[in-house]
Each structure stands twice: as structure tokens, then as C-alpha cells.
Amino acid sequence: MDVDDVSQKPHDQLGQWLAPDMERVNALIRERMASEHAPRIPEVTAHLVEAGGKRLRPMLVLAAARMCGYDGPFHVHLAATVEFIHTATLLHDDVVDESAQRRGRPTANLLWDNKSSVLVGDYLFARSFQLMVEPARMDVLDVLCNASATIAEGEVLQLTAAQDLSTTEGIYLQVVRGKTAALFAAAAEVGGMIADASPDQVAGLRDYGDALGIAFQIVDDLLDYGGVADTIGKNVGDDFRERKLTLPVIKAVAKADAEERAFWDRTIAQGDQQDGDLERAQGIMARHGAMEAARADALAWADRAKTALDPLPPHDLRDMLTALADFVVARIR
């Protein structure tokens, strides 16, 4: 297959290189999301799974395994596992956030109801645990179980930190590591582990996923204040309306004068938002260089991701993962 077309986006190149494996992953996902007794389960799951998405997390598993020379069957099971975990968290997140749109489509909780979204998410978590034990690797199981717990912990931490203007960049990083980077890191790590890669290589893959996930989330937070709804899959300003203390806001709050602090207290802490407040928030962030500072952080994390791949052997897939880190942050350069 031709993967040398530099005009392709890195995740498209990855998808093309990994196409046979991804076909097996998709077939396994369809098989395991079926339910003989509750037809709503595949209905809800299919709505989200088939909505598109880049499938970055399962591709990280497959790419790491193949890059490290794996030729067995279980990287497919692990790739399906991380996609089920990810899909379950999306279903739960949309209920918690009361979201109405996901990847440019109505959310499952809007089309069905909150109860269905929560319970189907629970079902997918259970299915993910069934899949992750099939390789019979306790070390891999340990990583994925810890990642699942870390994701839940990050979501709860975000609840307690939300609307709290004393939230620091350190707490923000903990939240991001939980809700986003943990699964990126685990996906890359278990791909190396199933291939019996060296400890240095496994650690490099884990660090790559961690840094890529952090950069990915910072970019997502930036695009919420400066993206286009059709391209980011949600409405611009959703984070502001949901009163989320994302990185650019945290940086702006840290430099706020008394009048700006009162604005953030009214709009974020108290939730009293009025027409024009989003534009004013964007202006305050621009005045203090908060967007530029957050952009610099995202670029630094992308650089860390690329450096983390140094222990890995030369491979087309390694080049694609390096390009992926650049692409993640290219949208906010």
C-alpha cells in the first residue's frame, strides 16, 4: 500500500498502513457491542462508534505493537478494548456535561435519554474488561485497569475543580492526565507490552501517549475559544458556557485585575452569563496573552512526545507517530 503521500494527514496515513488490523478491530467491536436481550445497547453504541472519529487510541495500540515486531492476534483485542473504554467515557461525559452535540451529531443522551447513555456506557466498560483479559497478560491487564481508574478519578477531580477560580495549572494537568492522556498513554504502552518490547521502549511509548494526550487536550481547549463549530464537532464557546476552567482561562485568571476577576467570578464561579460575555472573555485572554501561552505549552508537549520515541527502532510507523504529534498542534500554530 502507498503510505508515502505527504499530502495525507498523519492519522490518515496511520489508518491506511494499519487498515487490515483496523478492519479486524472494527469487526470485533461490532461483534462485542451486540446484545441478545437489550437491542438499545447496539443502537446507542453504533450511534457513537459509527459517527466517525479518528480512532487514534486503537491505532496507537496497533502502531506500537507492529512497530515493535508483534505478529500475534491480541493487539486487535487491546485496540478494541481502548475504543470501548473511550466510547463508554464519552457516553458518561455527555450526560455529566449535559452536551447536545458530539462529533457534529446529536449526543446519545439527547436522542435517547440519560439513563440509556449511562447504562450503555456501563455495558461497554464491562465488555472492555472481558476483552482485556483474553490475552492472559496480567501486566497488560494492570495497565488498562489502572488507566480506567485514572480516567474516572480525573473526571471526578474535574467536577470538584470546575467553577473554582483557585484551580491551578497543576490541578488542570492532573485533570487532563486523567480524562484524556491516561488512555493515550495506556494504548501506546500495552501495544509495546504485547510485543514484548524492551522496558525502555515501553516507557517511551507510554511517555509518548501521555504527552500526545496532554497536547491534544490543550489544543481542544484552545479551539473552543477560536475554532469553527463544523471542524471541532461542537459549538465554539461550549467550555465557557459550561463554566470549565480550561488552561487559557486559568492563565487569564492568574493575571486578572480586580475588574477582570469580578468578571470571571460572575461568569465562571457563579454562572451568571450574559450576551457578549464570551467575546469579553476572549478579549481578556488576548490582552494577557493567555491563548499564546497555552499554545506554547501545547507545542512543548508535542515536542516531548516526539522525543519520547527515541528508544523505538526506525520504522514508517514511528515517522507517522512523530508527524501525528506535529499535526495535533498544527491547528493552533
Residue 34 and residue 40: Cα distance in Å, rounded? 10
C-alpha 122/C-alpha 14 separation (Å) is 30
Q: What's the pLDDT score for residue 100? A: 58
Instruction: List pLDDT tens digits, range 275-318.
Output: 999 999 999 999 999 999 999 999 999 999 999 999 999 999 99
What's the angle, vertex CA 148, arms to CA 77 and CA 318, rounded to 5?
A: 55
> Which three three-digit cell numbers place residue 275?
450576551
pLDDT at 112: 62
C-alpha cell read off for 290: 493567555
Query: How does pLDDT run across 242-275, given as a tens digit for each residue?
Result: 888 999 999 999 999 999 999 999 999 999 999 9
Task: Dump pLDDT digits (tens) for 75-120.
Answer: 999 999 999 999 888 886 766 666 655 555 666 565 566 777 788 8
Q: Is residue 22 predicted with pLDDT exceeding 50?
A: yes
Question: Rounded CA gap, 98 and 76, in Å?
Answer: 33
At 236, the pLDDT band (50, 70, 90 cuts) reads confident
Determine if residue 71 is left, alpha or beta; phi over 0 gives left, psi from -120 to 50 gives alpha, anything else beta.
alpha
pLDDT of residue 44: 73
End-to-end CA distance of the chain: 31
pLDDT band at 234 (very low <50, low <70, confident <90, very high): low
pLDDT tens track for 294-304 = 999 999 999 99
Q: What grid cell was written down for 13?
A: 496515513
Instruction: Check: CB of residue 69 under 8 Å from CB of residue 317.
Output: no
C-beta of residue 201 within 8 angstroms of C-beta of residue 192: yes
**Residue 226 pLDDT:** 79
The tens digit of pLDDT for each residue in 154-191 reads: 988 888 888 889 999 999 999 999 989 999 999 999 99
* pLDDT given for residue 116 in this prediction: 74
What is the Cα–Cα distance from 233 to 248, expressed in whole angstroms? 20
Q: Is 187 helix (H, G, I), strand (E, B) or coil?
A: helix
* Residue with the larger pLDDT of the pair 323 and 227: 323
232 against 296, higher pLDDT: 296
Check pLDDT > 70 for residue 2. Answer: no
Residue 30: left (phi > 0), alpha (psi -120 to 50), or beta? Answer: alpha
Which of 114, 79, 69, 70 has the alpha carbon at shortest distance from 95?
114
Q: What is the DSSP letter of 265?
A: I
pLDDT at res. 92: 67
The pLDDT value recorded for residue 115 is: 79
User: Could you give the CA distance from residue 57 to residue 188 in angstroms, rounded to a whole number?
Assistant: 8
